[in-house]
Amino acid sequence: MNKKWLKTAAPLLVLALGFGAVKFLGAAKPEPEKKEEEAQRLVSLAYTEAREEAVHLAVNTQGEVRPHTEIDLTPEVSGRIVAISDSFAEGAGFEPGETLIQLDDANYKLAVARAEAGVAQAEVLLLQAKAAASIKRQQWLKLNPNKEPTPLQVNLPQVLEAEANLRSAQAELADAQRNLARTKIKLPFRGRVINREVGIGQYVTASTALGRVFATDRVEIRLPLTDSQLQELDLPMGFVASDKTPGPQVALSALVGSEQHQWHGRIVRTQAAVDQQTRLIYAVAEVNDPYGAGASNGVPLAVGLFVTAEAEGTRERHAVVVPRTALRSADKVYVVDEDDRLDIRTVETLSTSENRVVVASGIRNGERVVTSAVANAVDGMQVQPITQLARK
């Protein structure tokens, strides 16, 4: 009986002793020292003061660069191609008056020689007719000293016929010479080749397409504008620039490779009608010598490039201006109020450029706007303004 009781009570006794030991050790452990909570550290922010000033709003739009002159090159005479210039290759450039394609000119030289012979023969016939007319006139006056002869009596019609034949022969010679010159296919402007459709040995006629080229003296960019943008630029519909009324200047920019480049042009005309599909008015800007003097650090304003255009408006207005770094999420600005608390404002922007933002409402003159990055911004949070940045 005692053995059974020991077997039953032994486990309970071990558990009771273990529980008592844990309680004893816990009671003997010293309490941890209580530390005062550290004051919350404030977020330091850089700021600048918003400033109201008179501004000219920039009009921003986009467009594609197109050639001012682009044509299909076709011959004016028929013949077999005997030579093609290296300048007449896709992407190559050519100079004004440079021979791009040479046609076989043997038949045209022969035509010139025949026309020259015809002119010489007509000149001889004219001299003979004039000599005969002079003799007839002398004979008439000798027999009839006081009477003027009729034109027929002194062979005047024969002289007029010989003169007309000479002019006809000279016209045929000029035509033959022009056709001979047309065997050298050239253009009167500097340009570049878009594509070439023919090769040496090919026979071409006046309707054969040789290739397509464009002039590089200037390029144009078709820019879509809204009614308000057109008014901002003070441009009427159907505007055409002249020496007395030049169009507004335009800065064109694009990313070429890994670098941003800028070119300068001028609006030269606007459409006289609203586009029925987009309901926009299109203005045309031109850039002179885009592959030469008008290039940006050697980078041409190439045809086909998509560019961003910025033109400064003519109307002056007063608005608040802040740095570009102050604008967040397109229409938000962080303002530090008088109590150094963050005030997240929604603003109405009039114009945005690389360096500044023109604000119509939402900020007052002299308010402190945050220009540094803010992580986890909360409206009303306490901040520490540390500096005032000078605006460029």
DSSP-assigned letter for residue 251: E
pLDDT at 390: 44
Per-residue pLDDT band for 360 (boundaries 50, 70, 90) equals: confident
- pLDDT value, residue 141: 85
Higher pLDDT, 40 or 197: 197
Residue bearing tokens 């000599």: 131
Q: What percent of the chain has pLDDT over 70?
A: 88
**Interatomic CA distance for residues 288 and 266, integer angstroms:** 9
What does the block give as tokens for 52? 């109201």
* Assigned token pair, 248: 């507004």
Q: Supply the pLDDT for residue 26.
A: 60
Amino acid, res. 232:
E
Q: Which of 29-43, 66-80, 82-96, 290-304 is least confident?
A: 29-43
pLDDT in tens, 365-389: 889 999 888 888 888 888 888 865 4
Return the exposure string of 177-201: e unless at least 16 CB atoms fall within 10 Å of the residue's CB, then b: eebbebbebbbebbbbbbebebeee
Question: What's the chain's length in residues?
Answer: 392
DSSP symbols for 19-37: HHHHHHHHHHSPPPPP-PP
> CA-CA distance, 339 to 337, in Å (whole number)?
5
d(CA 129, CA 282): 67
Residue 175 confidence class, pLDDT cut points 50, 70, 90: very high
Lowest mean pLDDT among 14-28, 164-178, 253-267: 14-28
Tokens of 304: 């086909």
Strands 383-388 and 43-49: parallel
pLDDT of residue 224: 94
**Predicted local distance difference test score (pLDDT) of residue 5:** 54
| pLDDT category of residue 246 using cuts at 50, 70 and 90 | confident
Confidence band of 17 (pLDDT split at 50, 70, 90): low
Cα distance between residue 333 and residue 322, in whole Å: 10
Task: Provide the mean pLDDT of the chain.
Answer: 86
* Separation of alpha carbons 2 and 97, rounded Å: 131
Contact predicate 180/108, CB 8 Å: yes
SS3 state of residue 386: strand
Nearest alpha-carbon partner for 269 in 214, 309, 230: 230
Please choose, from the candidates 305, 375, 391, 288, the residue with its C-alpha nearest in 3D space to the C-alpha of residue 334: 375
Q: How far apart are CA 262 and CA 323, in angstroms?
A: 21
Angle, nearest 10°, between helix axes 156-181 and 106-143? Answer: 170
Number of neighbours of residue 67 by Cβ within 10 angstroms: 20
| Contact yes or no for 265/221 (Cβ under 8 A) | yes
Evaluate if residue 13 carries a pLDDT over 70: no
pLDDT of residue 41: 75
pLDDT band, residue 39 (cuts 50/70/90): very low
pLDDT of residue 75: 95
Residue type, 205: T
Confidence of residue 392 (pLDDT cuts 50, 70, 90): very low
Phi then psi for residue 119, to 5 deg, are -65, -45
- C-alpha 81/C-alpha 138 separation (Å) is 59
Which pLDDT score is estimated for 389?
Answer: 47
Q: Which of 79-93, 266-280, 309-323 has the lowest mean pLDDT?
A: 309-323
Whether the predicted pLDDT of 205 surpasses 90: yes
| Per-residue confidence (pLDDT) for residue 180, from 0 to 100 | 96
pLDDT tops 80 at residue 28: no
Q: Are 291 and 300 in contact (CB under 8 A)?
A: yes
Asked if 282 contacts 321 with a C-beta cutoff of 8 angstroms, the reply is: no
Q: How many CB atoms lie within 10 A of CB 85?
A: 15
